[in-house]
Amino acid sequence: KVGRLVGCFAAAAVCAVDGGRFLMADSEGVLVEVSLPVGVDGVSVTEVVVQRLGHLGCVPQCLAYLGEGRLFVGSPAGPNAILQLLTEPGADGAAFTISRQWPSFAGASSAVLADLDGTGHPTLLATVGQHCGGSLGVLRRGASLLVSHRVD
């Protein structure tokens, strides 16, 4: 029961105590579960079962299984999220839902300090992420500009 695997795998996480199930995401952002059931001898693997769980919307750099069907997905190319794995695929075909999501400020390629609303309080804007996971990040608190050198 080997499913077709697409691309190179970007991240992987062990997802069961017995070590027989693994969650992996490929370079296309597809999350799969790979199961390695063992035979009656308790040692030899009888088959490799690959089940597609859905598309993450970004290519993760790390996966961490948190227990109780929860998975942390970390990505410099898109948002970081905690997923709740489902026993059956939902209406969209994915076998997970997004429980929580945070923007990623990894991969910030440029930033600008601007007074967007005319209040005199500058806002730090940064382009973050990569490709279709890229976005404009806005930092409103705890950011200030200290000019240490100036070239005129």
Q: What is the pLDDT of residue 86?
A: 94
Residue 18: predicted pLDDT: 60
Q: What pLDDT, on the 0 to 100 scale, is given for residue 8?
A: 67
* pLDDT reported for residue 97: 95
Distance CA 44, CA 27 (A): 30
pLDDT at residue 35, as a whole number: 87
In whole angstroms, what is the distance from residue 26 CA to residue 61 CA?
Answer: 10
Residue ranges for the chain with pLDDT beneath 50:
1-3, 17, 143-145, 147-148
Distance between CA atoms of 33 and 100, rounded to whole angstroms?
21
Write down the pLDDT at residue 115: 78
- The pLDDT, as a whole number, for residue 53 is 94
